[in-house]
Amino acid sequence: MHGHVIPINTPLPLSSPIRSRGTAGTQTGYTGRVLAKGEHLYHAGDSIAGPYMVITGALKGYNTDEDGFERVMRLYSTGDVLGFEGLARRGAVSSIVAVDTAKVWKMTEQGPVEGGPGMLGITETILMGFYRELSLSAQVLEMNRGSAQARLARFLVHYGDQQAQRGCKEQEFLLPFGRRDLAHYLGIAAETLSRAFGSLRKKHILKMNENHIVVLDPADLRRIANGNA
Amino acid sequence: MHGHVIPINTPLPLSSPIRSRGTAGTQTGYTGRVLAKGEHLYHAGDSIAGPYMVITGALKGYNTDEDGFERVMRLYSTGDVLGFEGLARRGAVSSIVAVDTAKVWKMTEQGPVEGGPGMLGITETILMGFYRELSLSAQVLEMNRGSAQARLARFLVHYGDQQAQRGCKEQEFLLPFGRRDLAHYLGIAAETLSRAFGSLRKKHILKMNENHIVVLDPADLRRIANGNA
DNA sequence: CGTCATTTTGATGGAGGTCAATGAACGTGG
DNA sequence: CCACGTTCATTGACCTCCATCAAAATGACG
C-alpha cells in the first residue's frame, strides 16, 4: 500500500562491544537461530544455556498466570539481549516467543565455571547484562504508571531512543509488535491503546499507517510521556 | 494496646546457605549497620560496594521521577537481599531508605575480581541473588495488575509465604510498612488501600488492629488474589 | 492538652475496562 | 477472480472502579 518503503529498520550492525570479545583466551562463540512468527525460543521453567541477542525481528517475553491469562513482561527488538537467567542454572523466568520472524544468536559463553573455592568465573559482559536487566525491570514498572496516553508516549520515546542507538531513525519506525501485545505490555486494554493512538494522531503529534509510525512532534510526545497532559 | 504481643516477627536466624559460605578459602565477611527510620542506606546513582541482607526491620526501594514523584519499587523485610547492582560497578538503580529501624549486613565479598582472561570471580550466592532479583521483578509487575482488592490480597499472600519461609506465622504478622508506602508499591491511592482493607475486614477474611494483621480465611484471600471476586 | 502525621470515611467526576459492531487485511479454496 | 472465513484494528456506548478532594477520626509526642 505504501509507495515505496524506507529502510528504517536495519539488522544489527554488530559493532564494538560484543564481537570484540570473541578473541583468543575466551571460548566465546555464537550460534545463530531463526524463529518463525509464533515460534518459541524457550518456555518459562526450561533450563537454558545462556543469553541470546536479537539480530533481526522481535520477540516478547511473557508469563501465564494460574488463570491462563498472559502477562507481557518484555518486548525485545534488534540488539536486545535476553535469557541471562540461564547462567544461574535455574529455569527461565519467562517464556520467549517470536512475534515476527526473528533471528537470534546464542552467546555460548558456557555460563559460570569453577574459578576457585566457592567462586565462579563470569565475563564482565554477562555481569553488565545482568545490570542492564535489573535497570530494565525498573523501566518496565515505569511503563505501568500514569494515563494510557502517557504510557504509550513513554513507550514510543523509549523505542525511539533505542532506534537511535541502533543507528536508525529516531522519529520514524515500523513497530514489530501487534496491538494486543503492546497493550498487554503497557498494562491497558487493546481498545484503550487504539484510542490513545487516535488521540495522539488527532493532536498531530504523530501520524501512522498500520505499524509505520512517524513522530511529528517529539517535544510534545516527551511532555505527554512525563504526565503533563 | 494489645494485651500481650506474640513474637510474630523474629530476626533472621541466619541459617544454612549464607553463613556456611564464610569458611576458609574465601574472604567472605559481614559488616553490620543499623539505620534509623527514615535513614537512607544509599541513593540511586551512588556507587555501592555490594549486596546487603536485611536482618531486622524493613526498607523500601524507590525511584524519583522527573516530576519529583516517588515510585516504590520494592519493599524489603527480614531476610531479603538487596543491592546487587553494586557488583557491576555501576550506580545503584534505586534509593533505599529504612521505613522502620532496620539492621542490615553488608556482604563484603569484594565484588567481582579477576579470575582469568576476561573472567571475573563471583560466588554462586551472588549469582542466585541476581536470579532471585529477576524473578522478583516479575512478581512486582504482577502486583500492578487487577483490582485494588486483588493487589492487596496478592501482597498479603506473598507476605505470608515469606513469613513462613522465615519460620514465622503465616497468617499473622505485623506489617512494617506504612499505608502510603504500601499503596504506592501496589500502584493505588492510599485511600483506596484503606477501603480495600476495610472490605476484606467486612468479609471476615482478615481482622486487624493498626498494623497487626490476622488472616482469618486464607483460602478466600487466595481466591481474591487471583482475581475471582 | 495542642499540634502534627497518619488513617479512615464520604462524595464526586473521569478514565478506562468491557461488550458489541464495523471495517480492513490476508489467506484459502472453489 | 471472487466468495468466505479469520484475524486484527478501530470506533461507539455503557458502566464500573478508582483517583481526587475534603473532612473527620485516631494516634504519636512534646
Residue A88 banded pLDDT, cuts 50, 70, 90? low
Residue B160 banded pLDDT, cuts 50, 70, 90? very high
Residue A42 banded pLDDT, cuts 50, 70, 90? very high
**Per CATH, domain B148-225 is 1.10.3720.10:** no
- pLDDT for residue B6 is more than 80: no
Please work out, in degrees rounded to the nearest 5, the angle formed at the alpha carbon of residue A27 by the alpha carbons of A21 and A31.
Answer: 80
For B8-66, how does the pLDDT look when each residue is reduced to its tens digit (9 = 90+)? 555 444 333 333 333 333 444 557 899 999 999 999 989 887 788 899 999 999 998 77
* B192/D29 CA-to-C1' distance in Å: 28
Nucleotide lying nearest to A150, CA to C1' measure: C15
| Superfamily of domain covering A16-143 | Jelly Rolls (2.60.120.10)
Share of chain B above pLDDT 70, in %: 76
Answer with the residue of higher pLDDT: A47 or B112: A47
For A132-181, how does the pLDDT look when each residue is reduced to its tens digit (9 = 90+)? 787 888 888 888 889 999 999 999 999 999 989 888 889 999 999 999 99
For A56-71, how does the pLDDT look when each residue is reduced to its tens digit (9 = 90+)? 999 999 998 777 788 8
Arch. (CATH architecture) of B16-129? Sandwich (2.60)
Q: What is the pLDDT of residue B23?
A: 35
Contact assessment for residue B197 and residue B151, using Cβ atoms and an 8 Å cutoff: no
For chain A, give the mean pLDDT. Answer: 80
Q: List Cα–Cα distances, A94 to A46, A83, A84, A90, B134, in angstroms.
A: 9, 9, 11, 12, 10
**Best-predicted range by mean pLDDT among A95-104, B99-108, B110-119?**
A95-104
- Enumerate the residues of chain B whose CB falls inside 8 A of the CB of residue A124: 112, 118, 120
Domain boundaries, chain B: 16-129, 148-225
d(CA B36, CA B98): 7
Q: In 3-state terms, what secondary structure has residue A150?
A: helix
Mean pLDDT of A92-103: 92
Share of chain A above pLDDT 70, in %: 76
- pLDDT for residue B205 is more than 80: yes
Residue A4, min C-alpha distance to chain B (Å):
40
Mean pLDDT of B172-190: 94
Are B115 and A121 within 8 A, CB to CB? yes
In Å, how far from its chain's centre is CA B20?
23
Q: Name the least confident of A85-94, B5-14, B140-149, B199-208.
A: B5-14
